[in-house]
Amino acid sequence: MSRIALILGPDGGADRVVPPTGATARLTLLTSAAMAFLAVFALALSMAAGRVATTWADALARTATIRISAPAGEIGPQTEAVLRVLDQTPGVAAARALTDEEQRELLDPWFGSLPLDDLPIPRLVEVTGTAEGYDVEGLRQRLAAEAPGAVLDDHGRWRRPLVTAASRLRLLGGIALVLILGASAAMITLAADAALAANGQVIRTLRLVGARDGYIARAFVRRFTLRAVIGAAAGTLIGALAVMAMPGPGIGEGFLTGLRFRGAEWMLPLLVPVFAGAVAWLATGAAARRVLRGMR
């Protein structure tokens, strides 16, 4: 505890030899907080888009409907042919013809209680694929051969663009995340470089009174790493709270309600301050070595 106080305290530890830099310090804190906040959102967006894409793609692959329209007498045999084909198709978990009862329920909202028995209503077969899925084109061709009246509708026409959109969104979220992290790294590097260059005289004085390079570098590295980590931690915390404030799952499967992290995903934002700290560590160390190389 006292060790932490020593490191965190404004006057604690050897980094007292590093002059305080008021405005720069506050700007670094603020920027890394803002960047961390944005990073958390990009992360949440990317994860959510990924989840939606997977769920939709999954559903897309797994459910389909076969519609059999044929003259009244042929519906029965063709339905049987279709079920037979499905039974032999690898990747199909279940197939079931809807009963008249069920079909009537589906149609009721549209037609009211019409005497449907008299109309040539197509027969519907519900297909559920296994996790691996089945070969849609192959199935289509076999159906065409065995039951000319059967049409396979894999819902792809309306779902596929959505899956594509969700995948693109995930990609964009990922790119945004990379850009934000890259910009933060550049910002921290610039701040460290500027601070080290501005402190050339301090570094020279330390060197002349017998400070080793490691001692000097550590003093600056500690100051900057702490600053970046504290800023990023604050930004991450606020970002995580904001994400948590979004409505959770179960309130509808819409995209906006899925922005929250799920389970172990909550650990991911923790990587943001770790990343900021690592960048600050490396950048300040490199800047310190660069300045020290110019003096004996």
Partner 1 sequence: MGQDCATLTAVQDGVVIELSDAAYGFGGEPLFAGVGLTLGRGSFHFLTGPSGAGKTTLIRLCYADLLPTGGSVSIFGHRTDGMGRDEIAAARQRIGVVHQDCQFLDHLPLIDNIALPLTVSGRPVEPQMQNLHELLAWVGLGHRAEAHPPELSGGERQRAALARAVITDPDVILADEPTGNIDWDMSVRLLTLLAELNRMGKTVLLATHDLALIRAAKAQVSARVLRIAGGRLQLAGADL
Question: Which residues bind to partner 1, rule: CB under 8 A?
Answer: 14, 16-17, 19-20, 201-202, 204-215, 292, 296
CB nearer to partner 1: pick between 114 and 208: 208
Sheet holding 63-68, edge to edge: 92-97, 123-129, 63-68, 150-153
CB nearer to partner 1: pick between 1 and 209: 209
Smallest separation, CB 44 to partner 1 (Å): 42
Specify which residues 65 forms β-bridges with: 126, 153
Nearest to 242 by CA among 50, 53, 45: 45
Nearest to 198 by CA among 280, 281, 287: 287
CB nearer to partner 1: pick between 84 and 289: 289
CB nearer to partner 1: pick between 9 and 248: 9
| CB distance 170 to 53 below 8 Å | yes
The CA distance from 192 to 225, in Å, is 10
Q: How many CB atoms lie within 10 A of CB 258?
A: 22
Smallest separation, CB 218 to partner 1 (Å): 11
CB nearer to partner 1: pick between 19 and 77: 19
The CA distance from 284 to 296, in Å, is 19
Residue with the two structure tokens 């995903």: 265
| CB distance 167 to 22 below 8 Å | no
Smallest separation, CB 53 to partner 1 (Å): 54
Report the run of H or E that residue 92 belongs to, with start and end: strand 92-97
Smallest separation, CB 19 to partner 1 (Å): 4
Smallest separation, CB 206 to partner 1 (Å): 6
What's the DSSP call for residue 137?
H
CB nearer to partner 1: pick between 145 and 209: 209
| CB distance 203 to 291 below 8 Å | yes
Smallest separation, CB 30 to partner 1 (Å): 22
Smallest separation, CB 231 to partner 1 (Å): 22
CB nearer to partner 1: pick between 262 and 289: 289
